[in-house]
A and B are shown apart, each in its own frame.
Chain A
Amino acid sequence: DGGITQSPKYLFRKEGQNVTLSCEQNLNHDAMYWYRQDPGQGLRLIYYSQIVNDFQKGDIAEGYSVSREKKESFPLTVTSAQKNPTAFYLCASSIAGGEQFFGPGTRLTVL
């Protein structure tokens, strides 16, 4: 059953903590993306990766970090430097320049 999985579904973070969101895909896609969604705003790109061991900053990368050590995995770390991390985080993948497919999302709340 091909697709994109994200975990956990809900995540709670205390102030000053780093947390890592998981994204895995078995679609054999080279490109993977992380977006942030806030109420009333469109999706905003945090980071993307076109190939293993390479990634680029998106529009709102400050306070976030990523790694791409395996083709199927693209974890996102929300660091304590991100001042307003409460949001819905979405991971996506695609072939280069092709149709993007999304995971079910992780809702992060800062306590």
Chain B
Amino acid sequence: KQEVTQIPAALSVPEGENLVLNCSFTDSAIYNLQWFRQDPGKGLTSLLLIQSSQREQTSGRLNASLDKSSGRSTLYIAASQPGDSATYLCAVFFTGGGNKLTFGTGTQLKVEL
């Protein structure tokens, strides 16, 4: 079964800290992987999309990496700010998975002053 797992479910860090969010997936045959941010009661905001052929993508203070062989992706957030507080979701488009994204349950991040 194709599954996506995110650990930990919740994380609290002091402002200014660099942090890493983890995503693991059970099948290395993927088309792409996408990281999202969700604020309470809101829709999802796309942060980064990594294609299967890529190893990483960067946008501002965010860097996402992809290692298909180990079934892992990480989202690195540099110099965290209170405004980064949100739930971060990882989603995988598995090859042969029916033209859909499979989502993890997310990591709830709190950045404290």
Contacts and interface: CB of A to CB of B under 8 A. Distances in A.
Given A42-B106, A97-B31, A99-B49, A58 B100 contact: yes
Contact of B105 (A40, A56, A101): A40
Contacts, number: 59
B49 A48 contact: no
Interface of A: 4, 6, 31, 33, 40-45, 48, 50, 56, 58, 88, 90, 92, 96-105, 107
Given A42-B89, A43-B89, A33 B100 contact: yes
A99 B34 contact: yes
Size range of the chain B interface in the assembly: 20 to 34
A42 B41 CA distance: 15
Nearest to A44: B103
A90 B104 contact: no
Interface string B24-55: 00000001101010000111111001000000
